[in-house]
Amino acid sequence: MSAPAPWDPDTASRRVVFWRHGRTEWNRVGRFQGQQDIALDDDGTRQAAEAAAVLRFLEPDIIVSSDLSRALNTGRALAAETGVAVAQDKRLRETFAGTWEGQTFTQIAEQDAPLLAAWSAGVGSARAGGGETRVDVGRRVAEAVGEAVEGLPAGGTLVAVSHGGAIRAGICALLGLPTESWAVISGVSNCHWSVLQEIPDRHGNSAWHLAQHNVGLDSLPSGPVEG
């Protein structure tokens, strides 16, 4: 494994804002959405517009979104505020959750309790509904964000519009946290955001730091933090 590149002041201090989509009807009733393409509900559309009016002050240079409509339409609310077009990347999709998709969390707990417990605890090998592991998701989200960040100017801001579980996994992967500790990072509520800031570590190498997590216009969750 190669040594990390020296910290470069010409590209440092970049910022990644992970923004979760607004609420959907499935969020409201507690269904695991996974990669099902569920639209924003009226509250979710309102949440996206209200959050975008605040996030525009971060002056994003790049907006990249999951191609699922609940994320993409959330991102488009920010595009309308900033004039920055939304790029799409399938790697920012939510966890593919196999047989769990479309089920309520209560149903999943009744039918697949041991796997749900392992997956909820952050066990790296646990496959949601027989689909992806958190490690799978974290790897692809980190790859997508890493590639997008390369297009940022020094001090620039990337907004990545994604999903609750995918954001948590991506943050943990980018921070380089051991898999067994991923559960210490909470999920992200509907239309809330988290911020990673690029600053040098104690060796002078470029590194991501979690500057803000699960920030929103209010302090109350508005849907399950997965999906």
Residue that has been written with the tokens 């593919």 in this structure: 96
Q: Taking each helix axis from N to C terminus, what angle separates 69-82 and 42-55, rounded to the nearest 10 degrees?
A: 40
DSSP 3-state assignment of 125? coil
Instruction: For residues 129 and 191, give the distance between their C-alpha atoms in angstroms, rounded to a whole number.
Output: 25
Report whether 215 contacts 193 (CB < 8 A): yes
Amino acid, single-letter form, for residue 102: G
Q: What is the DSSP letter of 40?
A: B
CA 32/CA 3 separation, integer angstroms? 40
CA distances from 73 to 47, 54, 206 (A): 11, 16, 33
The catalytically annotated residue of 59, 81, 94, 226 is 94
Q: Which one from 21, 101, 163, 226 is the annotated catalytic residue?
A: 21
Q: Establish whether 21 is a catalytic residue.
A: yes
Q: Which residue, 71, 87, 78, is CA-closest to 38?
A: 71
Active-site residue, 180 included: no
- Using DSSP's 3-state secondary structure scheme, residue 185 falls into coil
Catalytic machinery residues? 21, 94
